Amino acid sequence: MIVRKSAAELEKMRRSGLLVWEILGKLASMIEAGVTTLDLEVVAERMIRDAGAKPAFKGYYSAAVGARFGFVLCTSVNEEIVHGMPSAKRALRKGDIISIDTGVQLDGYFGDSAVTIPVGEISPEAKRLLDVTRESLELAIDQVRPGKRLFDVCGAVERCVVSNGFSVVREFVGHGIGTQLHEEPQVPNYVDRRNENPRLKEGMVLAIEPMVNAGKPDSRVLADKWTAVTRDGSYSAHFEHCVAVTPNGPWVLTRP
């Protein structure tokens, strides 16, 4: 069942979303060679606690893994697609790209967002990967309007990514969001005709999150059971926003 939110509920989600935006902005300002992914984790956790919020990811139970996630951030570097775990041993280097994904629960409502950031100068191909992934998200956001269908959102990502010679990760998808971190519907970054194609209605909120590989779309999960990487070792980028369907068009809850 897809849960539609009232205006008051959307305002609460907006507050959660802006906290996530603030956290990601602070972390982005810290990105440089030598910084560890655990350094980012420490700052993010402090900001969440100071705001009176709860981390959405830390303690999240995955039935597929059979364990709870241990961090407030997912920090995924280079070929890591998603769910990378912060570590004092993982220091960033010039030329890396790092995806930072985080979420919070504030006043009972969730916000969730992700960004991929270059570490110093990166290769032209890596820069193009980030640009295309970001563009695909913006094109998808523009489809979040009453009367549109879910496949309009999914297809916008897929067309942008494929036409630029990159590939869409298929094992991991976006989702509805509200009083739960993951709600219906699932939001793939491609048109999956095995899924339902609901019409978008006012009050729906979608967490749209393109995960795009420079090489082939195939992924695998490392022995830690969480970190997903590209099978061919190519770089992967990830951007995410929570977007509400309103009569006036898309409302991105996770940025000002």
Domain assignment present for 118: yes
For the chain, how many structural domains are there in total? 1
Residues in the chain: 256
Per-residue model confidence (pLDDT) at position 10: 98
Euclidean distance between CA atoms 219 and 42, whole angstroms: 29
Domain assignment present for 2: no
Find the mean pLDDT for residues 128-145.
Answer: 98
Domain assignment present for 1: no
User: The domain that contains 168 carries what CATH number?
Assistant: 3.90.230.10
Domain assignment present for 75: yes
pLDDT in tens, 41-88: 999 999 999 999 999 999 999 999 999 999 999 999 999 999 999 999
154 pLDDT tier (thresholds 50, 70, 90): very high
Per-residue model confidence (pLDDT) at position 247: 97
**Are β-strands 73-77 and 97-106 bridged in parallel, bridged antiparallel, or unpaired?**
antiparallel
> What range defines the domain where residue 111 resides?
7-252
Domain assignment present for 123: yes
- Our CA angle for 59, 65, 69, nearest 5°, is 20
Domain assignment present for 15: yes
% residues pLDDT > 70 (the chain): 100
pLDDT in tens, 200-251: 999 999 999 999 999 999 999 999 999 999 999 999 999 999 999 999 999 9
Domain assignment present for 246: yes
172 pLDDT tier (thresholds 50, 70, 90): very high
Q: Are 103 and 51 in contact (CB under 8 A)?
A: no
Per-residue model confidence (pLDDT) at position 250: 98
Domain assignment present for 52: yes
